[in-house]
Structure formats: C-alpha cells, structure tokens
C-alpha cells in the first residue's frame, strides 16, 4: 500500500495481510496526512487553537454556575481546615 502527502512525499508502510489498510497515514517526513490517491492527497488538518481548562469550563458553565461551584469548593475547604 502506498500513500502520498500534499508535499509529494511517498510512504509505503507494511501491514499484516489480515488487517485492512487505513485510508490515511501520517507522513514520516513532514507529519502531514497522506492518502492513497497520489493526484488528490488529503489536505492539512485544521489547526485547533489552544484552549485552557478554564476556557473549556466557561463553554459549559455560566458565570453564576461558576461562582456557585467556587463558593461550594471554598466552603468545603474551610470545613476541612476547621475554619468554619
């Protein structure tokens, strides 16, 4: 099975005969996806911007929910420390 990336690199990995070959393979030279069609290789994957844990939390929680969760966590912490 032969794969080609958008940069024209040829990759020919070996697979077991009883296992179906994947439709794409990562090019070891440039890291781009490589496909089995030399004239139409797959495009570069879409780059996802880095998101912090806080950004993901803000997608799922409202400001009020976040404040309530923080207040509960602080209350539990103070109880364990014996401050309340």
5 is in an annotated binding site: yes
Beta bridge partners of residue 24, listed in sequence order: 35
Tokens of 70: 């923080």
Task: Residue 67: name the closest of 77, 80, 75 by CA.
Answer: 75
CB atoms inside a 10 Å sphere around CB 34: 25
* Residue 40 marked in a binding site: no
> Is 30 known as a binding-site position?
yes
Residue ranges for the known binding site for Zn(2+) are 5, 9, 27, 30
Residue ranges for the known binding site are 5, 9, 27, 30
């Amino acid at each position: 099975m032969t794969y080609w990336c958008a940069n024209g690199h040829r990759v020919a990995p070996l697979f077991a005969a009883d296992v179906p070959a994947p439709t794409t393979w990562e090019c070891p030279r440039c890291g781009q996806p490589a496909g089995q069609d030399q004239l139409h290789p797959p495009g570069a994957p879409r780059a996802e911007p880095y998101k912090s844990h806080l950004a993901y939390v803000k997608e799922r929680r409202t400001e009020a929910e976040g404040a309530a969760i923080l207040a509960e966590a602080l209350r539990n912490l103070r109880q364990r420390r014996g401050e309340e």
